[in-house]
């Protein structure tokens, strides 16, 4: 077994005992098992575990909203949690929403702009300082950070874990909410990521090639509704094209600089791999994480008449061609 494939940066600087409180960053997408993995860190009781620090709801959250937003309050398919998702944010709330958070952190900043000050840095640093004041380490579990992961690591240090899932299964999970519940949230967020990307970037040019309009200015809700109204109904083929582009661009940025890459499909099926990942986390973070109950739901690929392999190949070639024509950019924080 090639341990190097999954422990990408096992240098001594990344190794941290529990007393050192090196911050841990968990980077994943929607419907890839990231909530499950984040919940396992929370169960240790040794860290302040912030859930989805870039989620748009943080802009206007209140104690009441935080307390009623639980895994059992919607068809989450998440593990049972002993507290609401965002319980850790309660001491950090201001008069309106989370102090230091801006709504454009959610998706408008998904692909970092080249150079200059990036506003997320100050906000994330505030979360890390809060954890330090409690005498515990910080664990930040993201579903909107993959394209920012390398820049976050360079600016903030810490131990960075990338979570990945079979892309077809991940997209089928997003799609299932549209088919079964009438919710297009998970699919449309991928559309928004591309549509909001800088026009001269690879992602922005790919979005224009698909005919995605620029969302209107304003709050997240207005952008979400505006793009939904402009595009609905969309085909499964277009949805998977968009998902595949975001997925490929995101992991191409995040994985090379990750300290650990977790394949949740293997984590669910292979005891030897599960033990290897648990050992890596214990050695590099000082935390004993138990993934024995990991179970990833499998969706029926044949039930959806989409040529996934062909779309992935087309997207890969299109992104490669666009990348060669785009001006090089450097993603930096600060």
Whether 28 shows a pLDDT value over 80: the answer reads yes
Question: Within this chain, do residues 305 and 240 fall inside the same structural domain, yes or no?
Answer: yes
Q: What's the DSSP call for residue 57?
A: G
Q: Residues 282-311: pLDDT tens digits?
A: 999 999 999 999 999 999 999 999 999 999
Residues 234-240, mean pLDDT to the nearest whole number: 98
Cβ-in-10-Å burial (0-12, 13-18, 19+) of 290 comes to: exposed
The residue among 3, 29, 18, 63 whose CA lies nearest residue 245 is 29
Q: Which SS3 state, helix, strand or coil, does residue 258 take?
A: coil
Residues 13-28, mean pLDDT to the nearest whole number: 69
Q: Residues 36-64: pLDDT tens digits?
A: 999 999 999 889 999 999 999 999 999 99
Q: DSSP letters along 278-320, please?
A: HHHHHHHHS-----TT-------GGGS---HHHHHHHHHHHHH
> Is 221 within 8 Å of 229 (Cβ atoms)?
no
**What is the reported pLDDT for 102?**
95
Strand order in the sheet with 24-27: 47-51, 137-142, 24-27, 159-164, 260-263
Question: Within this chain, do residues 271 and 324 fall inside the same structural domain, yes or no?
Answer: no
**What is the reported pLDDT for 76?**
84
Asked if the structure places residue 34 within a domain, the reply is no
Question: Within this chain, do residues 49 and 152 fall inside the same structural domain, yes or no?
Answer: yes
Question: Within this chain, do residues 74 and 150 fall inside the same structural domain, yes or no?
Answer: yes
Residues 270-274, mean pLDDT to the nearest whole number: 97
Cα 193 off chain centre by: 12
Within 13 Å of residue 67, how many CA atoms lie on the same side as its CB?
5
- Report the chain's mean pLDDT, rounded to a whole number: 90
Question: Within this chain, do residues 220 and 324 fall inside the same structural domain, yes or no?
Answer: yes
Asked if the structure places residue 16 within a domain, the reply is no
Phi, psi of 139 (to 5 degrees): -120, 120
Question: Within this chain, do residues 64 and 201 fall inside the same structural domain, yes or no?
Answer: no
> Is 138 within 8 Å of 24 (Cβ atoms)?
yes
Q: Residues 61-113: pLDDT tens digits?
A: 999 999 999 988 888 888 889 899 999 999 999 988 999 999 999 999 999 87
Question: Within this chain, do residues 69 and 116 fall inside the same structural domain, yes or no?
Answer: yes
Tell me the torsion sign for CA atoms 237, 242, 247, 253. positive
How many domains, the chain? 2
Structure tokens at 180: 């079964």
Q: Residues 110-146: pLDDT tens digits?
A: 998 765 456 798 999 999 999 999 999 999 999 999 9
The residue among 143, 229, 254 whose CA lies nearest residue 190 is 143
Q: How many CB atoms lie within 10 A of CB 62?
A: 13
Whether 17 shows a pLDDT value over 90: the answer reads no
Question: Within this chain, do residues 83 and 111 fall inside the same structural domain, yes or no?
Answer: yes
Whether 10 shows a pLDDT value over 60: the answer reads no
Whether 215 shows a pLDDT value over 80: the answer reads yes
Domain that holds residue 240: 166-258+299-329
In degrees, to the nearest 5, what angle opens at C-alpha 191 toward C-alphas 190 and 192? 90
């Amino acid at each position: 077994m090639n341990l190097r494939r999954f422990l990408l940066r096992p240098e001594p600087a990344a190794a941290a005992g529990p007393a050192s409180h090196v911050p841990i960053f968990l980077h994943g997408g929607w419907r890839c098992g990231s909530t499950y993995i984040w919940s396992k860190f929370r169960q240790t009781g040794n860290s302040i575990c912030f859930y989805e620090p870039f989620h748009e709801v943080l802009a206007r959250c209140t104690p009441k909203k935080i307390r009623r937003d639980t895994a059992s309050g919607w068809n989450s398919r998440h593990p049972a949690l002993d507290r609401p998702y965002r319980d850790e944010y309660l001491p950090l709330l201001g008069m309106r929403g989370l102090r230091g958070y801006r709504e454009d952190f959610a998706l408008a900043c998904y692909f970092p702009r080249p150079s200059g000050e990036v506003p997320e840095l100050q906000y994330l640093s505030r979360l890390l300082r809060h954890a330090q004041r409690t005498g515990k380490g910080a664990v930040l579990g993201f579903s909107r950070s993959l394209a920012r992961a390398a820049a976050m690591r360079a600016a903030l240090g810490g131990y960075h874990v990338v979570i990945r899932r079979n892309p077809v299964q991940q997209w089928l999970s997003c799609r299932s909410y549209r088919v079964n519940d009438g919710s297009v949230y998970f699919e449309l967020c991928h559309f928004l990521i591309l549509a909001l990307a800088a026009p001269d970037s690879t992602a922005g040019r790919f979005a224009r090639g698909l005919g995605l309009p620029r969302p209107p200015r304003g709050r997240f809700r207005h952008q979400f509704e505006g793009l939904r109204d402009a595009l609905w109904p969309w085909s499964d083929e277009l949805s998977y094209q968009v998902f595949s582009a975001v997925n490929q661009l995101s992991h191409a940025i995040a994985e090379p600089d990750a300290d650990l890459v977790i394949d949740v499909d293997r984590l669910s099926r292979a005891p030897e791999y599960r033990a290897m990942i648990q050992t890596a986390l214990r050695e590099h973070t000082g935390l004993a994480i138990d993934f024995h109950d990991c179970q990833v739901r499998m969706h029926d690929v044949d039930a959806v008449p989409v040529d996934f392999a062909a779309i992935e190949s087309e997207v890969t070639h299109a992104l490669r061609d666009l990348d060669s024509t785009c001006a090089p950019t450097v993603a930096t924080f600060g």
